[in-house]
Chain A
Amino acid sequence: MTPVKILISLILIISVCSISAQDDLEALLMNEMGEEVEYEFGTFISNNVLNNHSTEMTNKNGIGFRISHKFGSLKSGPAAFYGFDNAISLFEVNYAPVDWWNIGLGRSTVNESMNGYTKFRIARQSSGAKVMPVSVAMLLVANCVTTQFEDETRNNQLAERLDYTSQLLIARKFGKNFSAQLTPTYIHRNLVKTKADLNDLVALGFGATYKIKQHFSVNAEYFWVQKHNTPSTEYFNPLSVGVCYQTSRHAFELFVTNSNGITETQFLANTTNDFLKGDVRIGFNIATVFTLKSKK
């Protein structure tokens, strides 16, 4: 090959290179950008599946309010207006100092209890440059019963009034409309009703949501709870089925459930109604969130 031939072929190669580079500036830029991390949005509509927390969290500087009601058993019939007269409720406020951390404070009318919780985001479902198949959050709840004990000699001990729930919330959004959550749970109660009741309980929760249309989903939640060995009371696994609707600022959940508590220890460990026998009640949550100050 003569130098001239080499030269000509080089000119051809270089000109082809430069032409193609100029022709597709976009491709060149895309190449420079590389792959981005794409986080999944809206695994669940609100911070709760129905009773239990979901992996969703209040965003940084957000302050969230949640009002939760459960009426009495539908079985109570017309005398108690199908449970309307025996509502229990929870009022809760939560705050997000940073995107991955929420703290909350709540008051429930069941046993006049106060609860505080903290929720951390451990992982967020993403694709692209960083692939993470699930969103994971950790929830720690401490609940304090402030009602007078029946046995008055027990009254002054704070420790006896406390119970704790620890949960790992593991959720995945499958496609656009369906999300599921797995919730391994550990409950510790400092004081239980009888000797046969367990102080420590494990539970495993299954939650799911299916978006029927924008802002409207059907949700279901079930917990398998370790059986107590109690002769006096029979406990059941809580099951809840309902719908969730979202407006620009509020999320509403309307559901039927057999659980008769609102905070985690109450509905997980103290559900005494059998869903299959129709011993259910209507539950209703309203959640709203405000922004305290704008992110810079």
Chain B
Amino acid sequence: MNLRQLFTVIMVLLALCGSAQKYMTKTGYVYFKSHTDAIDIDGSNNKVAAMFDVSSGEIVAIVLIKAFELPLATADKHFNEVYMESDAYPKATFKGKFVNLQNVDINSNETQELDVEGVLSLHGVDKPFVQKVNISNNKGKLSGTCSMKINIDDFGITVPENVKDRVAKVVDVKVELTLEEVKK
């Protein structure tokens, strides 16, 4: 093996290494709404970080709880202190994998449905989680959106007795992520 061959092999290896293609965002959006007859409480966060590894189909998303903005007066304080206890549990994470990634073309700009399964960790509680996600590719940017319902009992979030009729047991959550390819 001469030096030129060695150089070629190294370049090929580096290229292979680089082809563990990843997509990422730090400005993903998540929105939640608690609907009761008494009051609607909603909040949004546009600092969701997510990373997607194309070769393995793995996806990780991290939501900083304190980055939620709640328009209702004093609601952010209650959200952080009483419900999410964000000092103790500063972030929610989802770690999972697309199960049928090989069936779709991630370069297609058509909306395709994918199943993701993994573990959602929220308020210090880890729960297995399966979710349908719509993905599409818009000029190299990969968007994923999904809507889900989260039962706050599942995650050990308790509502004080005196406001029971003002906080929904099942909260609607919408997630919109637009991931860009990570440049090596």
Residue numbers of A with Cβ under 8 A of B are 3-4, 6-7, 10-11, 14, 17-18, 21-22, 25-26, 28-30, 32-33, 36, 38-39, 41-42, 58-59, 61-62, 64, 176, 214, 247-249, 289-291, 294-295
Contact = CB atoms under 8 A, between A and B. Distances in A.
A99 to B, nearest CB: 10
A83 B171 CA distance: 49
Nearest to B160: A214
A17 B17 contact: yes
B120 interface: no
Main secondary structure of the interface of B (DSSP, over half): mixed
A8 to B, nearest CB: 11
B122 interface: no
A33 B73 contact: no
A214 B62 contact: no
A29 B50 contact: yes
Given A25-B58, A39-B66, A295-B69, A248 B10 contact: no
Given A3-B2, A32-B51, A176 B73 contact: no
Contacts of A176: 87
Interface in B1-38: 1-3, 6, 9-10, 13-14, 17, 20, 22, 24, 26
Interface residues of B, number: 47
Nearest to B66: A38
A58 B20 contact: no
Closest 8 CB pairs of A and B: A294-B71, A295-B71, A29-B51, A289-B73, A62-B73, A291-B73, A25-B60, A26-B60
Contacts of A26: 60, 62, 93, 95
B76 A59 contact: yes
B17 A22 contact: no
B60 A3 contact: no
Given A3-B2, A14-B14, A41-B81, A29 B71 contact: no
Given A30-B62, A248-B78, A290 B71 contact: no
Contacts of A7: 1, 6, 9-10
B81 A28 contact: no
Interface in B86-135: 86-87, 90, 93, 95
Contact of A42 (B47, B51, B81): B81
A29 B9 contact: no
A248 B160 CA distance: 10
A57 to B, nearest CB: 11
Given A25-B51, A26-B60, A3 B6 contact: yes
A290 B49 CA distance: 32
Given A4-B1, A10-B13, A29-B62, A291 B72 contact: yes
B20 A22 contact: yes
Nearest to B14: A14
B20 A21 contact: yes
